[in-house]
């Protein structure tokens, strides 16, 4: 197969999964031609992006697997991006899509891709915006993005998702005051997963009160009880996602988030020739110098 951009684009727009995987690899790894590929993307349909976020252990992957079953049962197609923790040394993904979503991996209506977080503090991966656009171009009906689950800093998903779903469990009740000061504000839908556990009813009431307090532009985030491993409540969650899509999003917020995305892309473009390994190698030559000053050192990269 010829990998020139002009040959890849038609196959990508047709939804060819092998081509999609190759295009994502090009973008994620910055291979030659990836910028041209991005510039030539066209979007034949509006694909809702659903962000699934929440602390580790909340059952995000199980919930996504249940949502996938629900979506394909409706004869719809789905692209899933699972952001995995990664080694700080080799930047590789520590968990793969085969382990997370084995029942859906070979389903013809589902495409799953794992991306390494590569040290990102926002719960996403460095090229997530671009990869999401590549998947959009392939014409899926829905895209789901699962964040790493790093907690307070996990707010970047709001810049990417049309609907942000915050997944919590009854055990998070003791942490609710901490959670609400950060991630709570970005949620369009709250999910109380593992709702058959002790303390679920009390926590549900607390979430309901917090949801009411964070009403924005006429949208009060619903609180949905689920037991993902038993497919319970998933239909209600999907209905809530559809209702939020009908309600629409805050255009001022979207423009602000889009501007942040543009700024991030500009920053990435200007630093694309600088790598961690390059800096580390260069630092090795200078860090032992007497009176080494990190701030003076950084100025060499600002020219």
Tell me, yes or no, whether 160 lies in a domain.
Answer: yes
Tell me, yes or no, whether 264 lies in a domain.
Answer: no
For residue 174, pLDDT beyond 90: no
Please indicate, yes or no, whether residues 95 and 26 belong to a single structural domain of this protein.
Answer: no
- pLDDT band at residue 68 using 50, 70 and 90 as cut-offs: very high
Q: What pLDDT does 48 receive?
A: 92
For residue 261, pLDDT beyond 90: no
CA dist 299 and 63 (Å) reads 46
Q: What pLDDT does 96 receive?
A: 43
- For 213-247, the pLDDT digits (tens) are 778 778 899 999 999 999 999 999 999 999 999 99
Q: Which residues contact 190 (CB under 8 A, 6 or more apart)?
A: 165, 166, 168, 207, 210, 211, 221, 222, 223, 224
For the ranges 19-33, 115-129, 138-152, the lowest mean pLDDT is seen at 115-129
Cα first-last separation, the chain: 42
Tell me, yes or no, whether 270 lies in a domain.
Answer: no
- CB of 19 closer than 8 Å to CB of 6: no
Q: What pLDDT does 187 receive?
A: 86
Q: What pLDDT does 87 receive?
A: 41
pTM of the model: 0.81
CA dist 58 and 54 (Å) reads 7
Please indicate, yes or no, whether residues 163 and 195 belong to a single structural domain of this protein.
Answer: yes
For residue 124, pLDDT beyond 60: no
Tell me, yes or no, whether 262 lies in a domain.
Answer: no
Please indicate, yes or no, whether residues 98 and 56 belong to a single structural domain of this protein.
Answer: yes
Please indicate, yes or no, whether residues 207 and 302 belong to a single structural domain of this protein.
Answer: no
Q: What pLDDT does 152 receive?
A: 42
Please indicate, yes or no, whether residues 13 and 153 belong to a single structural domain of this protein.
Answer: no
Q: Which of 97, 259, 239, 263 is nearest to 163 (CA)?
A: 239
Please indicate, yes or no, whether residues 232 and 198 belong to a single structural domain of this protein.
Answer: yes
How many domains does the chain divide into? 3
Please indicate, yes or no, whether residues 242 and 96 belong to a single structural domain of this protein.
Answer: yes
Domain that holds residue 297: 275-303
Q: What pLDDT does 89 receive?
A: 39
Q: What integer best gives the mean pLDDT of the chain?
A: 82
For residue 210, pLDDT beyond 90: no
Please indicate, yes or no, whether residues 68 and 200 belong to a single structural domain of this protein.
Answer: yes
For residue 90, pLDDT beyond 60: no
Please indicate, yes or no, whether residues 30 and 74 belong to a single structural domain of this protein.
Answer: no
Tell me, yes or no, whether 17 lies in a domain.
Answer: yes
For residue 292, pLDDT beyond 80: yes
Please indicate, yes or no, whether residues 99 and 1 belong to a single structural domain of this protein.
Answer: no
> For residue 212, what is the enclosing H or E element?
helix 200-213
- pLDDT band at residue 77 using 50, 70 and 90 as cut-offs: very high
CATH code for the domain of 197 = 3.40.50.300
> For residue 114, what is the enclosing H or E element?
strand 110-116
Tell me, yes or no, whether 265 lies in a domain.
Answer: no
Please indicate, yes or no, whether residues 122 and 238 belong to a single structural domain of this protein.
Answer: yes
């Amino acid at each position: 197969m010829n990998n020139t951009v002009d040959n890849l684009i038609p196959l990508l727009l047709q939804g060819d999964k092998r081509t999609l995987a190759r295009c994502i690899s090009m973008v994620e790894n910055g291979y030659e031609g990836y910028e041209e590929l991005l510039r030539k993307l066209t979007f034949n349909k509006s694909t809702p992006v659903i962000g699934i976020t929440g602390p580790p252990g909340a059952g995000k992957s199980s919930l996504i697997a249940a949502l996938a079953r629900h979506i394909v049962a409706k004869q719809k197609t789905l692209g899933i991006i699972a952001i995995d923790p990664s080694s700080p040394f080799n930047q590789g993904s520590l968990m793969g899509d085969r382990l997370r979503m084995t029942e859906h991996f070979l389903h013809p209506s589902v495409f799953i891709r794992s991306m390494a977080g590569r040290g990102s503090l926002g719960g996403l991966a460095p090229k997530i915006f671009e990869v999401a656009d590549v998947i959009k171009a392939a014409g899926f009906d829905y895209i789901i993005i699962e964040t790493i689950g790093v907690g307070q800093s996990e707010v970047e998903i709001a810049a990417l998702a049309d609907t942000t779903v915050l997944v919590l469990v009854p055990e998070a009740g003791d942490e609710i005051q901490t959670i609400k000061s950060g991630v709570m504000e970005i949620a369009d839908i709250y999910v109380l997963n593992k709702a058959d556990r002790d303390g679920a009813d009390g926590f549900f009431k607390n979430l309901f009160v917090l949801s009411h307090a964070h009403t924005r532009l006429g949208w009060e985030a619903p609180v949905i009880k689920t037991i993902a491993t038993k497919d319970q409540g998933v239909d209600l969650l999907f209905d809530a996602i559809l209702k939020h899509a009908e309600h629409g999003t805050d255009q001022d917020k979207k423009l602000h988030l889009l501007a942040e995305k543009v700024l991030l892309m500009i920053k990435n473009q200007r630093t694309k020739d600088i790598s961690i390994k390059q800096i580390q190698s260069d630092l090795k030559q200078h860090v032992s110098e007497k009176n080494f000053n990190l701030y003076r050192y950084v100025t060499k990269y600002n020219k």
